[in-house]
Amino acid sequence: MSVLHIINKSPYDRSSLDTCLRLAQPDSAILLIEDGIYAVQKNAAAAQKVEQALANHQIYALQPDLEARGINPDNMIDGIALVDYDGFVKLTTDYDKSQSWL
């Protein structure tokens, strides 16, 4: 019974990512989309908790949203996997259910 947690809010604006990390089971995955993408940035205030989360969770980021925001993939925290829209759809079917944090 694993969950795909979807985060679409900036970690600097909302507590969605913090709450998700607090409530995600170790086998669940996290997908960053829309403004949730800002959590991928290296050397940023939110980077440490994302790096720690990578120990227990697969973390994905939606590439078109990354590109739209001008974030260089080289500045992305190591271990985060990029997915395109097809990959997004596949993730939602690979996991039993999705939890779209608001």
Partner 1 sequence: MATKKFLYVNRTAPHGSIYAQESLEVVLIAAAFEQDVSLAFIDDGVYQLMQNQDTSGIGSKNFSPTYKALGDYDVSKIYVEQESLELRGLGKDDLMPLTYEDEDDDWAEKDSIHVVSSKELAEIIDQQDVILNF
Q: Closest separation between CB of residue 30 and partner 1, Å?
A: 13
Q: Distance (Å, rounded) from C-alpha 45 to C-alpha 34? A: 19
2 touches partner 1 (CB under 8 A):
yes
The pattern of x and - marking residues 21 through 40 that bind partner 1 according to CB under 8 A reads: -xxxx--x------------
Q: Distance (Å, rounded) from C-alpha 92 to C-alpha 40? A: 20
Residue owning tokens 């409530």: 23
Exposed, middle or buried by CB within 10 Å (0-12, 13-18, 19+), for 99?
middle
From the list 14-22, 30-38, 43-51, 55-63, the region that binds partner 1 by CB under 8 A is: 14-22
98 touches partner 1 (CB under 8 A):
yes
93 touches partner 1 (CB under 8 A):
no
